[in-house]
Amino acid sequence: MTPAVYDRDYIRSTVLQRYPEGPLFSWVDINPTELCNRTCSFCPRGVDYPNTNLHITDDVIEKIGVDLEEVDFQGMINICGNGEPLLSKNLIPLISRLSKFSIEMVTNGDELVESRIVELYDAGIDYINVSLYDGEHQLEDYHNLFERCGISESNYTLREYWKPLPFLNNRAGSLDFGNPRINESCYYLHYSIQIDWNGDVLFCVQSVYNKSIRHGSILQSSMKDIWYGESMSKYRKLLKENRHHSPCNGCDVIGTRFGGDFVDEWRV
């Protein structure tokens, strides 16, 4: 199957669905597994984050689909989280269930072979981001791999992550480096929502390794109700001004790259 051309930049920066309570999320990040086959130095897994054999469950997959259908979701689903998606036992069922929506995935590519790539795009994936860590020689190998599968370069990106990373951050203080941007605003909670493998709505897409604060569970409430609920509304107001509160007071991510239009829409 050859996927349609995927305009990810348009979806990420332009789609804005309005409700009386405020704008709906346009970015849904899903963590499909707690397993990873690498321990990178810039990731908490390279320090002390445990590798556990936990995977997104059928009931969570179905509830994500139902909740997104309820709001006629027009934004982007990003399958990434804090593990390696290709190690998830339920990755293909997840993609298939959500195939009516725009879906991209981030992977280190170690498990990508021709048959797997074909399976992913046949299931409904639109775009794959491959993070390459081993060197420039990987570029030709992966370009050839996607070409043999009939996948256009408009439907995947090869990230040259063996080079210094321009947006490296401490993942909301989970790593011991960086200068916290305590007096800066952050827009992540104004446009994005993070779903863990068990249905928990985690604090934000950067705080996936620190699960001390959760906004709720989609197995107990709808994604929409959690989005407009007390917890996310509280932190949204705080983050519009600064990061003087936990867990944001240790975070050094640039939190205003996206979401400015959403901040303007919120009646807070």
Report mean pLDDT in 10-residue bins for the chain, 268 residues.
58 80 95 94 83 97 98 95 95 98 96 98 97 96 98 95 83 85 96 97 90 95 98 96 94 91 82
Residues 19 and 34: their CA atoms lie apart, in Å, by 34
Residues 19 and 173: their CA atoms lie apart, in Å, by 33
Sign (positive/negative) of CA torsion 229, 230, 233, 235?
negative
Q: How far is CA 103 from CA 50, 78, 125, 264, in A?
A: 27, 6, 5, 26
Task: Specify the pairing of strand 214-217 against strand 102-107.
Answer: unpaired
What pLDDT, on the 0 to 100 scale, is given for residue 10? 67
Residue closest to 96 by CA, chosen among 70, 120, 79:
120
Percent of the chain that is helix, strand, coil (3-state, to 5): 35, 15, 50
Phi, psi dihedral angles at 158 (to 5 degrees): -105, 110
What pLDDT, on the 0 to 100 scale, is given for residue 12? 61
Residues 254 and 188: their CA atoms lie apart, in Å, by 10
What does pTM read for this prediction?
Answer: 0.93
Q: Beta strands of 226-268 (E only): which ranges? A: none
Residues 208 and 174: their CA atoms lie apart, in Å, by 9
